[in-house]
A and B are shown apart, each in its own frame.
Chain A
Amino acid sequence: MNRIGKWLDQRLHYVFTIPTILFVLGMVLFPIIYTFVLSFHSWRLSANIPWEFVGLQNYVKLFSESRFPVAVFRTFLFAFLALFVEVILGISIALYLNRTFFGKNLVKTAFLLPMVATPVAIGMVWKLIYEPNIGILNAVIRGMGGPKMDWLGNTGIALYSLIAVDIWQWTPFVMLIILAGLTSIPTDPFESAMIDGANRWQTLTRITLPLLRPTIFTAVLLRLIDALKTFDIIYSMTQGGPGFATETMNILSFRQAFEFMQFGQSGATLVLFFLVVMSIAAITIKLKSKTEVDF
């Protein structure tokens, strides 16, 4: 082997990472810094008008109108309500299905489908199911003598209809993670508990759930980050409407940029959105490491 080859081989971990580092710097870090700088400027996508430095004006404007704070609230409502239901349902179903039974693999495959299927296609089917005049949901409700509901057109219900889709789509994810976690916890504590005469409920709350805690936290962390950032389902089904009824921070920043061409405003929304997701992720990780010390 020649000398250059040898020199490179000894520093292979740099050779292996440099292309990826360059990619990350160029495609990821540059846009983040650009967005940050943009958030202090006013600019409307025009080659003739240069950027104008406006200081914190974009941020002040966000808080002076109700549209932004409400979008923040909606983002939290969407993410936490969906997450809460998904975790409770996911854990319960996983605990119940945690045994060998006929067709278990098929069931697992079925659970995969909602989360790997193309979100836009999922959005379209649910739009058809929710359709007030021809949708099956209203047909069923009508059959039971209920009222006609405009699931996506009513400003009071639309967000909850979207949360329901998220729950349908992601409960299986929590469930699969918990099922995988259940197979990896040791059996000895269960045996000693049985010898000590613990009943089922005690075994569940004192042994199974505490042992599963790290797994549950990871599921919560991954799901929470993605739920806060939900875009495809919301945008393909309602575009943030009717009015602003389903406008989360993500959708708001998108509309500000690409519908109203207010790139500075959008930048400010994105910076704040990023901070929100970051801090929630950090809190979750902190809580997670705290629970791990207990064991």
Chain B
Amino acid sequence: MLDNMAGSKRQKMIRITLFYLFVVVVLAVVLFPFFWMILASFKKNADILNVDKLFSFVPTFKNYVSVFVDYDFFKPLTNSFIISFVSTMLALLLGLPAAYAIGRSRMHLFSGIILMIRIVPAISFLVPWYLLFTKLKLTGTYTWLIIYHLIVSLPTIIWIMIPYFESIPRDLEEAAKIDGASNMGTFCRIMMPLSTPGTLTAGILAFIFSWNNFTFALILCSSRTTTLPIAIYQFISYSNVYWGGIMAASVIITMPIIIISFFLQRHIITGLTAGAVKG
């Protein structure tokens, strides 16, 4: 009897050890490219090109300095920030009321159209606007890039917020209406404060998608309004690939997102899986 118990205890230990071993292996696979990115960003280019120095090298900050000094990364960094931030704010301004109205008044056609935007390939939005912009010489203005990024951020926000507003019970609005509040007043003073967590989720995701956007900026930005993803992409078009610089630039562009993810993990997961769990 005692033997048996000790045996099952050992079995349990083995099972737990195997489980954590599995977790570590999965984590290693998921995180390795990030680790490699950071490691390479601190290597001299000669060390990256030398296979014998995969792990033993003298760390250097030169790549980061060079990215800002030689390649003028401040400009795309600020451009990216301004464009993503302003377009997210605009998308919230337009999207929150729209999502509320769609969710409450059951405008199904409308939510169908929002889903359509997800389905249509982004390049079919690009061709006509590119043609029009070149004709009107509008390519590369901030205003248009910001409006363009709304194509990404506005559906994201509406998509996340419709189920969120639907999940808030109607009783609260009805009570407010009985007390004589207008529809506008109910929305501003009751629904908005109640939906702060949802708004935060939607806002973060819209910002991330806009920050990451490559396709639109690839065609529509000028040298003045280059965003970060384009600036990184342009690195590889130089004849000698400057890997150290590319990796430093990649760290710079992903760092804000990694930091946001650490602090707001729960929000991002609910946002990304929105609509999925409800079935």
Which residues in A have some Cβ–Cβ distance to B below 8 Å?
1, 5-6, 9-10, 12-17, 19-21, 23-24, 27-28, 30-32, 34-35, 38, 45, 47, 93, 96-97, 101-103, 105, 107-122, 124-129, 133-134, 136, 139, 168, 172-173, 176-177, 180-181, 184, 214-215, 218-219, 222, 225, 229, 231-232, 235-236, 250, 253-254, 257-258, 263, 266-267, 270, 273-274, 277-278, 281, 292
Contact = CB atoms under 8 A, between A and B. Distances in A.
B257 A118 contact: yes
Contacts of A27: 125, 129, 147-148, 150-151
A218 B273 CA distance: 9
Contacts of A184: 277
B120 A28 contact: yes
A229 B110 CA distance: 23
Contact of B49 (A23, A120, A134): A134
Contact of A20 (B147, B158, B182, B262): B158
Contact of A128 (B110, B118, B128, B247): B247
Given A1-B182, A19-B94, A128 B22 contact: no
Interface string B72-105: 0000000000000000000000110110111011
Interface string B34-73: 1011001000000011110010000000000000000000
Nearest to B100: A16
Contacts of A111: 30
B206 interface: no
Query: Top 8 closest A-B pairs, CB basis?
Result: A214-B279, A16-B97, A121-B250, A13-B101, A34-B128, A16-B101, A20-B98, A218-B276
B190 interface: no
Given A103-B23, A117-B34, A250 B121 contact: yes
A113 B30 contact: yes
A236 B233 contact: yes
B268 interface: yes
A243 B67 CA distance: 31
Interface in B15-30: 19-20, 22-23, 26-27, 29-30
B121 A273 contact: yes
Among A112, A218, A267, the most chain B Cβ lie within 10 Å of the Cβ of A112
B113 interface: yes
A231 B215 contact: yes
Contacts of A124: 37, 232, 235-236, 246-247, 250
Interface in B243-270: 243, 246-247, 249-251, 253-254, 257-258, 261-262, 265, 268-269
B276 A38 contact: no
B150 A281 contact: no
Contact of B214 (A14, A31, A115, A235): A235
B123 interface: yes
Interface string B200-223: 000000001001101100110000
Contacts of A38: 127-128
B269 A108 contact: yes
Contacts of A47: 135
Given A19-B94, A107-B23, A173-B272, A125 B37 contact: yes
A116 B211 CA distance: 10
Contacts of A114: 30, 33
B129 to A, nearest CB: 6
Interface string B129-156: 1110011000000000001101100100
B107 A231 contact: no
B183 interface: yes
Contact of B253 (A96, A118, A172, A225): A118
Contacts of B36: 125, 128-129, 136
Contacts of B275: 218
Among B29, B127, B187, B253, the most chain A Cβ lie within 10 Å of the Cβ of B127
B220 to A, nearest CB: 11
A96 B122 contact: no
Among A24, A184, A277, the most chain B Cβ lie within 10 Å of the Cβ of A24
Given A38-B127, A254-B123, A128 B233 contact: no
A128 B211 CA distance: 23
10 contacts: A9-B182, A24-B117, A28-B117, A31-B124, A102-B20, A109-B265, A121-B37, A121-B232, A125-B34, A214-B279
